[in-house]
Amino acid sequence: MGWSAYILVGFFSASLFFLAGAGALYWAHRNGQLNNLEKGARSIFDEDEPLGEITDSFPPKRKAAPPKS
């Protein structure tokens, strides 16, 4: 490929990158994703894994070898 072809590939891919980003930001704005962010931060919690509860720790030490089944 000649220089012009590389520049074309570069320009096309850079435009794709930029337009996709700009499009996503525009969508986020239109969709209301940027409003009420504090509520959004809590969206990962629910009744199964609620706010205020630690959900991971080291497994307990075993008192005896578990029965084989």
DSSP tag of 14: H
- Site size toward other proteins (CB under 8 A) is 41
Q: Which residues contact 40 (CB under 8 A, 6 or more apart)?
A: 33
4 binds other proteins (CB under 8 A): no
Residues 4, 30, 55, 65: which binds other proteins (CB under 8 A)? 55
Amino acid of residue 36: N
Shortest gap between Cβ of 10 and other proteins (angstroms)? Answer: 8
Q: What's the CA gap between 41 and 29, in Å, rounded? A: 17
Site string for other proteins, 21-50 (x = CB under 8 A): x--xx--x----xx--xxxxxxxxxx-xxx
